[in-house]
């Protein structure tokens, strides 16, 4: 099933109070100058993001870029050196806030003696009791055998346990670190369906992933982090525009690429024979008008793979 990402569901600015006594804020995750530094190493540097209710935000970056450190600060495993982070209008240190969060770590480690069922019972007992039918449904959807000790399971099966645990409490916010890592394609599809359902119900999702096809299908917005700094934020609509932003014009003879270079939104223009290839970020109106004036005889658009765009963006991030 192709998952389409609608616009985030905006919350009214007014503050309501929910059952656990924690105010619901307009931004589900809000960081302001969030910084984590160990000695000379700045793992996260002045990170400022705001994620609305119902939004799916993909936090992308290379290994060691600060993604997991950010997640760990959101949940108060580690404390910021500077800046602040608010989750569901409160602090990740507050158990009432964490009761409303489903978390899937990059590597799920549970006690050796714990079976999947033990884990569901134990972690379910620490907060609001999960609905039994929801748990059963998740176990069935992910084809999980809950009777086996978690430490005996393969990486993919441990991931299933983690996903059941993350989703079972009907959380308002899901923090998912590489959620489909190790899952087979069928279960990846199941995961995407589940995310779509939860998003439709207004759940906010913050995830990290290296699978760009997955990001494309589930995310509304991406944040690119490099060396701890948020380099760029784009909506998926921005990314899709970039993916179709390369236009090749054919002329009856050679034309100078420089004629396009100065136009608004043009990031590159290259001439090759009687063709000129132009890459546009944003509106293509000016480029098309110019090509018409120059007598273009044919127009061809090229769809670039999202992986290529991400790689390009990461290169810009690094530089």
Question: Which tokens sit at 263?
Answer: 């136009």
Which residue, 62 or 232, has its beta carbon nearer to other proteins? Answer: 62
CB-based burial label for 220 (10 Å; 0-12, 13-18, 19+): buried
The binder of other proteins chosen from 27, 57, 59, 103 (CB under 8 A): 103
Question: Judged by CB under 8 A, does residue 211 bind other proteins?
Answer: no
Q: Which residues have C-beta within 8 Å of that of residue 169, sequence separation ≥ 6?
A: 99, 102, 124, 127, 128, 130
d(CA 314, CA 67): 14
* Segment interacting with other proteins, rule: CB under 8 A, options 98-106, 205-213, 233-241, 264-272: 98-106
Question: Judged by CB under 8 A, does residue 63 bind other proteins?
Answer: no
Which residue, 124 or 282, has its beta carbon nearer to other proteins? Answer: 124
* Rounded least distance, CB 166 to other proteins, Å: 9
Phi, psi values for residue 89, rounded to 5° = 80, 0
CA 180, 104, 55: angle at the middle one, nearest 5? Answer: 80
Residue 221 β-bridge partners: 57, 235
* Segment interacting with other proteins, rule: CB under 8 A, options 76-84, 212-220, 249-257, 273-281: 76-84
Question: Which tokens sit at 85?
Answer: 């982070």
Question: Judged by CB under 8 A, does residue 33 bind other proteins?
Answer: no
* Rounded least distance, CB 125 to other proteins, Å: 5
Among candidate residues 108, 210, 102, the one with its CA nearest the CA of residue 153: 108
Which residue, 113 or 319, has its beta carbon nearer to other proteins? Answer: 113
Phi, psi values for residue 141, rounded to 5° = -60, -40
Q: Which residues have C-beta within 8 Å of that of residue 16, sequence separation ≥ 6?
A: 23, 24
Which residue, 166 or 247, has its beta carbon nearer to other proteins? Answer: 166
Strands (E), 53-152: 56-60, 82-87, 101-104
Question: Judged by CB under 8 A, does residue 152 bind other proteins?
Answer: no
Strands (E), 145-252: 173-177, 204-208, 221-226, 229-235, 246-250
Question: Which tokens sit at 73?
Answer: 């600060």
The binder of other proteins chosen from 16, 107, 152, 315 (CB under 8 A): 107
The binder of other proteins chosen from 96, 248, 277, 299 (CB under 8 A): 96
* Rounded least distance, CB 255 to other proteins, Å: 56
Say if strands 173-177 and 204-208 run parallel, antiparallel, or are unpaired. Answer: parallel
Q: Contact letters (x/-) for other proteins, 124-143, by CB under 8 A?
A: -xxx----------------
Question: Judged by CB under 8 A, does residue 112 bind other proteins?
Answer: yes
* Rounded least distance, CB 112 to other proteins, Å: 8
* Rounded least distance, CB 76 to other proteins, Å: 8
The binder of other proteins chosen from 109, 258, 261, 318 (CB under 8 A): 109
* Rounded least distance, CB 150 to other proteins, Å: 10
Question: Which tokens sit at 230?
Answer: 């948020």
d(CA 249, CA 251): 7
* Rounded least distance, CB 108 to other proteins, Å: 7
Question: Judged by CB under 8 A, does residue 72 bind other proteins?
Answer: yes
Site residues (CB under 8 A) for other proteins? 68, 72, 75-79, 95-96, 98-99, 101, 103, 105, 107-114, 122-123, 125-127
């Amino acid at each position: 099933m192709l998952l389409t990402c609608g616009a985030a569901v905006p919350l009214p600015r007014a503050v309501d109070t929910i059952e656990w006594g924690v105010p619901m804020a307009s931004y589900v995750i809000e960081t302001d100058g969030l910084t984590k530094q160990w000695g000379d190493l700045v793992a996260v540097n002045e990170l400022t993001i705001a994620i609305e209710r119902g939004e799916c935000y993909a936090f992308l970056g290379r290994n060691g870029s600060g993604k997991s450190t950010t997640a760990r600060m959101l949940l108060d495993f580690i404390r910021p050196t500077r800046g602040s982070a608010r989750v569901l209008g409160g602090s990740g240190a507050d158990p009432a806030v964490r009761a409303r969060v489903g978390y899937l770590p990059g590597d799920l480690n549970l006690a050796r003696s714990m079976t999947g069922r033990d884990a569901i019972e134990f972690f379910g007992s620490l907060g609001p009791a999960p609905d039994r039918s929801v748990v059963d449904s998740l176990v069935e959807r992910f084809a999980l055998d809950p009777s086996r000790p978690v430490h005996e399971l393969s990486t993919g099966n441990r991931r299933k346990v983690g996903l059941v645990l993350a989703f079972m409490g009907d959380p308002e916010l899901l923090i998912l670190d590489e959620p489909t890592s190790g899952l087979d394609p069928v279960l990846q599809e199941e995961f995407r369906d589940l995310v779509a359902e939860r998003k439709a119900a207004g759940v906010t999702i913050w995830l990290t992933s290296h699978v760009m096809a997955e990001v494309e299908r589930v995310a509304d917005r991406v944040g690119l982090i490099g060396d701890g700094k948020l380099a760029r934020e784009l909506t998926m609509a921005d990314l899709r525009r970039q993916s179709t932003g390369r236009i090749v014009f054919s002329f009856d003879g050679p034309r100078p690429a420089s004629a396009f270079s100065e136009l608004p939104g043009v990031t590159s223009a290259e001439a090759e024979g009687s063709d000129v290839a132009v890459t546009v970020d944003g509106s293509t109106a000016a480029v098309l008008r110019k090509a018409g004036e120059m007598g273009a005889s044919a127009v061809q658009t090229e769809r670039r793979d999202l992986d290529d765009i991400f790689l390009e963006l990461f290169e810009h991030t690094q530089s």
